[in-house]
Structure 1
Amino acid sequence: MSKFDYSSIDGHSLQTFIAVLEEGAVTKAAGRIGVSQSAVSHTLDKLRTIFDDPLFIRDGRGITPSARALALREPIEDILNRLHTLSHNGDFDPMRDTLEFTIATNDFPLGLIFPRLRRDLDADGIDARLNFIPAGIPSANLTRTSNCQMLITPAPPNKPDIRHLKLIESKMVCFFDPEVRKAPKTLKEYIACRYVDVRFSATESSQQVLPTSLTSKLSEPAVAVPNFNAVTPFIKGTDLITTQLSVMEHGSLKDLTWAPLPVRTQSRPLFLLWHERYEEDPGHQWMRQRIKETVKSITGT
């Protein structure tokens, strides 16, 4: 049994442990928390001594957590949450207090919401530093670590420690260049269209929110791009279409025209997610409200 002094465990070491556990690789964990790979390895060696366990075992090119590491996750996250609570200050003033947030999002919400928010904050004389993590379809796991305070995603949260706020509800529609073509009016016409898809990875696509009964009938996209900002340049001046949320008329696809799809589809929400550790944080509460107000001012809903 290790006789190491447990009081020497610090919050940074615990944050490093969670990062390694979630990333499954020392290099990725180091990049996520902004330290060197050797610093992460040194911290893991320290924790292995404290817990008298290897914690992570090499497995091919990655690492696999031990049973002890998996069991430690929940209590360590609880400790980090309590440490964060200690920093709460009821006397919050956005004009005085330091505000810094890291937000995981893809380029659509990033371009839609935050340039307007940044301008409004500047006009109010508020110094808030906003950092963004690029993500396709962000995972709620990102909000469980301290390096990401919020994320915006179409995926509804399904974890008890994740809180959420619905920012937008919008339907999938057909965007096109009206100077070149008209919108497809029938399902047959729609299926025959050449289209642009947004593919975040080999398995993640913006088409995932459409019903399988529809996507199974579509051919491969004529063009697949890695983000929403790249869609319009490929559609302008061509007969290509794209199927995206109608709210994008306020942002990434504002230079195109849209029409309803020739099939019935459900509205799709866009959520703001955060970990419960930030639920009562006055600065976090304030920023969530500003984001909500910004979305309302842009969309009118």
Structure 2
Amino acid sequence: MINIRNIDLNLLRAFDILMDERNVSRAAERLSVTQPAVSGMLTRLRSSLNDPLFIRSQHGISPTPRALELAGPVKKILSEIEDILAPTTFDPKESTMKLSIAATDYALKVIVTPLIYALQEEAPNIRISIQPINDSQTFALMERGQLDLAITTPDSVHKELRAKTLFKEDYTCIMASGHPHAHKNTLTLDEFCSLKHGIVSFSGNTFHGVTDTVLNSMGRHRQVTISVPSFLSLIEILKNCELCAVIPKRLICGIDGLATITLPFEIPGFSKIMAWHERTHYSPAHIWIRERIYQLCDKRS
């Protein structure tokens, strides 16, 4: 039977960081102690838990099955202890928290950028890091404390994450203001299909999207000549050539040099949601941040 008196919070924190880093040197740096000190903590943990926990590997250390089993509960315990000891109120003006957000370029432009502008005034000392979203890794990153929020879609969110819908988005057709068809309010279906189009593919290797699915159901097709992995890049391309594109409406707000044309058919829109892990659900700071994001999105709906 494990003697709980042999395990203190410092050992659990060391274990948690070793699980994150899988490297003794980097763990020592994060803990602000020497490498031998981390090795000593690991020795005590191994003795207390009667398991090697980590095995040396080519690129650092690899966790044993027992360590993997303990990783989630230990991180949850440490997070709960932090919440217990944290102040019960949150002052955005004084906060120096670090906030990490995963987002696509669409979400960065439409949701995260307005948040950054708002925080410059309301919480000037909060640090924000933005990373590309990877739906397959979001839950694991949140569980390890390496990600706080994800801006994603309902069908992509992990079932164990909490989530809230921010808004629903629709599509429109855009082209450069100097495009031969830019003076029109709408396009006929024949005109739409005859134009050259650009498309966004996050993998960058496909020329088919939701617009093409709708067209195919009508027995039609369009000319897609450019495929890029970024909406913002596509918008810049469109400004200087005779291409058009079907783009989420909120993306083009405040952008000059573009004409908006009504589509001659309907394309299903999508919802954007904000997702977070249970470990930050009751944190006053994170509650304030989530509410601020929701307010900013609500203003633009």
Shared fold, TM over 0.5: yes
Which of 124, 129, 153 does residue 127 from structure 1 map onto?
Answer: 124
Q: How does 1:255-270 map to 2 (within 5 A)?
A: 255-270=257-272
Structure 1: gaps of 5 or more residues: 21-25
Structure 1 residues 146 and 54 mapped into 2: Cα distance closer, same or farther (>3 Å)?
A: closer
Partner of 2:250: 247
Shift of 1:198: 3.0
- Alignment of 1:237 with 2:240, yes or no, is yes
Supply the distance in 2 between the matched residues of 1:102 and 1:144 (Cα, whole angstroms): 13
Amino acid paired to 1:168: F
Shift of 1:269: 0.9
Between the aligned residues of both structures, percent identity stands at 19
Max Rg structure: 2
Structure 1 residues 34 and 294 mapped into 2: Cα distance closer, same or farther (>3 Å)?
A: farther
TM-score (norm 2): 0.71
Q: How does 1:98-109 map to 2 (within 5 A)?
A: 98-109=96-107
Shift of 1:199: 3.7
Structure 1 residues 271 and 62 mapped into 2: Cα distance closer, same or farther (>3 Å)?
A: farther
Shift of 1:202: 5.7
CA-to-aligned-CA distance 1:26-58 (integer Å, 9 cap, x gap): 7xxx7xx989xx98xx77x93894662465786
Instruction: Indicate the RMSD between aligned Cα atoms, in angstroms.
Output: 4.4
Partner of 1:91: 89
TM-score (norm 1): 0.71
Structure 1 residues 9 and 276 mapped into 2: Cα distance closer, same or farther (>3 Å)?
A: same
Supply the distance in 1 between the matched residues of 2:195 and 2:57 (Cα, whole angstroms): 48
Supply the distance in 2 between the matched residues of 1:295 and 1:86 (Cα, whole angstroms): 31
Q: How does 1:172-251 map to 2 (within 5 A)?
A: 172-182=171-181, 184-186=187-189, 189-201=191-203, 210=210, 213-214=213-214, 221-250=224-253
Amino acid paired to 1:290: R
Partner of 2:168: 169
Q: How does 1:41-80 map to 2 (within 5 A)?
A: 46=42, 49=46, 52-53=51-52, 67-80=65-78
CA-to-aligned-CA distance 1:166-185 (integer Å, 9 cap, x gap): 22211133222242143653
Aligned residues of 1:153 and 1:272 also touching (Cα < 8 A): yes
Aligned residues of 1:99 and 1:127 also touching (Cα < 8 A): no
Structure 1 residues 254 and 146 mapped into 2: Cα distance closer, same or farther (>3 Å)?
A: farther
Tell me, what secondary structure is at the counterpart of 1:175? strand
Supply the distance in 1 between the matched residues of 2:288 and 2:153 (Cα, whole angstroms): 22
Structure 1 residues 193 and 19 mapped into 2: Cα distance closer, same or farther (>3 Å)?
A: farther
Supply the distance in 1 between the matched residues of 2:223 and 2:261 (Cα, whole angstroms): 22
Aligned residues of 1:196 and 1:223 also touching (Cα < 8 A): yes
CA-to-aligned-CA distance 1:108-140 (integer Å, 9 cap, x gap): 32233444434434444x323232233155553
Aligned residues of 1:248 and 1:254 also touching (Cα < 8 A): no
Q: How does 1:20-39 map to 2 (within 5 A)?
A: none
Tell me, what secondary structure is at the counterpart of 1:128? coil
